Amino acid sequence: MFESAEIGHSIPKARYKREEPKLREALLDAQFRLLQKPDFPVLILVGGVDGAGKGETVNLFNEWMDPRHIRTEAFESGDGTDSGRPLMWPFWRSLPRKGNVGMFFGSWYTRPIVDRAEGRSKKSAFAEDLERIRHFERMLVAEGVLLLKLWFHLSKDAQHKRLKKLGSDSLTAWRVTPRDWQRFRNYDRYARVSAETLRETSTGEAPWHVIDGSDSHYRALTAGNLLLDAMRRRLDGPAPPLSPAAPPPVPSLDGRDLLNTLDHGKRLSPARYEKQLEKAQARVAMLTREKRIRDRSLVCVFEGMDAAGKGSTIRRITRALDARFYRVVPIAAPSDEERAQPYLWRFWRNLPRHGHATIFDRSWYGRVLVERVEGFCAEVDWMRAYHEINEFEEQMVESGAIVLKFWLSITAEEQLKRFREREKVAYKRHKITQEDWRNRKKWPKYERAVCDMIERTSTVHAPWNLVPANDKKFARVMVLQTIADAIEEKL
């Protein structure tokens, strides 16, 4: 993988001085074209061997272009374990918005490579990490990100000379740490693992570019021209094509599905409701205040047709929680800031840390429900979203989250009854809009989308809970009991 980067590439100083000003001007022009028409973000991953010029290249890009529109992030450990959130959380929250350039010094590759090279992960776990990275990068590219992956390489001898030279100069000695020397002693192992990583993750959508880091002039011009070429091709042409995801299942011939066969006749009398509600709230209150919950987080997702009772159910849950440790996140149409990012970004940044809970009133499932039915995204986008959502939820669970997803199911007749009640009652009138009546006409399309969603995203780690909600009292108690049972099981 690294043979061509070890043959001693170099560029004379005179040539560098001729070409550097032109390259700098061209990069700045491309950056301003991107700012004027912010259709996509640029994300540069900088990785490679210690001493191969990664930091110098990051600084050079900031010097050559306008640093006000470049977000540079350095990831030391390469994960989000210290935050009590999924490993990918710090990368998601640092993604550049459309029209901007992001540079990641260290990335989602750091932890898998280091763990494998140091013997802390098995081959199977390493393969799973690389598979997840491929899916993640494919999603970024599908969301419009221009992803440029640069790997700066040095041979073992060249790295040894470079580290000794830096360490012997009092002005640069601070750049060489004991960890750098420790990794050098394991050079062969790191090189083998890195080569495998690059082979397995250099894809058509996101290829790796290996650059010889032994000559600063060659390194700088090569990296700069790769960035310029990538930006120009994208500014002047379309995004790269992606292979489509598998289509959703076709409707059953007899018309029966998960929703229309659900028993919506379940009810609770007022007396039983009050008694069972109080008992269920007490269980949730005690369980969420236990010491053991400090190493877990709670994520509750509520979806349902309009007027299904999501808001009133959430209020019964929050009465049992400590207000210092939960957030309710209502999801509406994305803001301009959110539209400038991949669609999952706004959900990643709202994930709770350990000891906390987040309740989503509607969620990331809007991509495969509202956006699908209303045509707000292309078919290829909502079809690939099923896998992306499953990956997202699996990462939450792996980080210690208890993920509970509720679909509050009502019949079309019950919805009509509640709509008319809202129009008659003054303090409920604000809840009903023309949009609700318009959506109601698309009930069959929404029902099919819901059934496809449940089929594709009800997984072992994050199953769907279908709640018959024609009777709000029954639904509220069922939801609280489900939350309590799930916490008890996980603790």
Round to whole Å and give the CA distance between 232 and 146.
11
Entry field: residues in the chain: 491
Please check whether residue 147 is in contact with residue 230, taking contact to mean a CB–CB distance below 8 angstroms.
Answer: no
What angle, rounded to 10 degrees, do the helices at 187-201 and 123-142 form? Answer: 40
CB proximity list for 455: less than 8 A, separation 6 or greater: 248, 249, 258
CA distances (Å), 84 to each of 327, 364, 436, in order?
A: 16, 21, 38
- Whether residues 35 and 130 fall in one domain: yes
Round to whole Å and give the CA distance between 268 and 276.
9
Please check whether residue 148 is in contact with residue 43, taking contact to mean a CB–CB distance below 8 angstroms.
Answer: yes
Nearest to 299 by CA among 461, 128, 136, 472: 461
Please check whether residue 409 is in contact with residue 264, taking contact to mean a CB–CB distance below 8 angstroms.
Answer: yes
Give the domain-ending residue among 236, 261, 281: 236
Say which CATH number the domain at 155 has.
Answer: 3.40.50.300
Q: Both tokens of residue 124? A: 């199977």
Residue 259 inside a domain? The answer is no
Round to whole Å and give the CA distance between 460 and 172.
52
- Whether residues 118 and 191 fall in one domain: yes
Q: Both tokens of residue 99? A: 């029209």
pLDDT at position 80 is 47
- Whether residues 223 and 288 fall in one domain: no
pLDDT at position 277 is 97
- Whether residues 229 and 303 fall in one domain: no
- Whether residues 275 and 152 fall in one domain: no
To the question of pTM greater than 0.75 for the whole model, the response is yes
CA distances (Å), 36 to each of 29, 40, 282, 284, 336, in order?
A: 11, 11, 56, 51, 16
- Whether residues 335 and 479 fall in one domain: yes
Round to whole Å and give the CA distance between 410 and 262.
9
Give me the domain span that covers residue 38: 3-236
Q: Both tokens of residue 439? A: 């959506």
What are the φ/ψ torsions at residue 87 (nearest 5 degrees)?
-60, -30
Round to whole Å and give the CA distance between 234 and 231.
5
Residue 462 inside a domain? The answer is yes
Round to whole Å and give the CA distance between 179 and 187.
12
Give the domain-ending residue among 190, 216, 236: 236
- Whether residues 214 and 291 fall in one domain: no
Residue 400 φ/ψ region, left for φ over 0, alpha for ψ in the -120 to 50 degree band, beta for the rest: left
- Whether residues 63 and 127 fall in one domain: yes
- Whether residues 151 and 300 fall in one domain: no
- Whether residues 134 and 198 fall in one domain: yes
Convert 242-279 to b/e letters by CB count within 10 Å (16 or more is b): eeebeebeeeeeeeebbbeebebeeebeeeebeebbee
- Whether residues 453 and 367 fall in one domain: yes
Residue 255 inside a domain? The answer is no
Residue 90 inside a domain? The answer is yes
- Whether residues 294 and 440 fall in one domain: yes
- When divided into structural domains, the chain yields a total of 2
Q: Both tokens of residue 33? A: 């074209």
| Amino acid sitting at position 114 | V
Residue 387 inside a domain? The answer is yes
Give the domain-ending residue among 212, 236, 260: 236
Residue 242 inside a domain? The answer is no
Which residue bears the tokens 């990068």?
A: 137
Round to whole Å and give the CA distance between 143 and 239.
10
Residue 258 inside a domain? The answer is no
Residue 381 inside a domain? The answer is yes
**Local confidence pLDDT in tens for the 491 residues of the chain:** 788 888 889 999 999 999 999 999 999 999 999 999 999 999 999 999 888 899 999 999 999 999 999 999 998 754 545 568 898 999 999 999 999 999 999 899 999 999 999 999 999 999 999 999 999 999 999 999 999 999 999 888 888 888 888 888 887 778 778 877 778 888 889 999 999 999 999 988 899 999 999 999 999 999 999 999 999 999 998 777 776 666 666 777 788 888 888 999 999 999 999 999 999 999 999 999 999 889 999 999 999 999 999 999 999 999 999 999 999 999 999 999 999 999 999 999 999 999 999 999 999 999 999 999 999 999 889 999 999 999 999 999 999 999 999 999 999 999 999 998 888 877 777 777 888 888 899 999 999 999 999 999 999 999 999 999 999 999 999 999 999 999 999 98
CB atoms within 10 A of CB 387: 16
